[in-house]
Amino acid sequence: MPSGAELFFCAHHGREHNDALRAVATTIQDETERLQATQPAGSES
């Protein structure tokens, strides 16, 4: 954010508010791939 503040959103809300966030954010760090790379608990290979 221009003020130096950081905002954190879950993937769902980040997608929901993406257009508005891009209009005001100085940078956006999307780490969705980190969520997709993890296995659900109890599904060990």
Q: What is the C-alpha to C-alpha distance for residues 9 and 25, in angstroms, rounded to an integer? A: 13
Q: Which two tokens stand for residue 16?
A: 């929901």
Q: How confident is the model over 12-22, as a mean pLDDT?
A: 90
Q: How far from 27 is each of 2, 20, 43, CA to CA, in Å? A: 9, 13, 35
pLDDT (tens digit per residue) in 20-29:
988 988 888 8
**Whole-number pLDDT of residue 38:** 62
Name the pTM for this structure. 0.53
Residue boundaries of the structural domains of the chain: 1-28
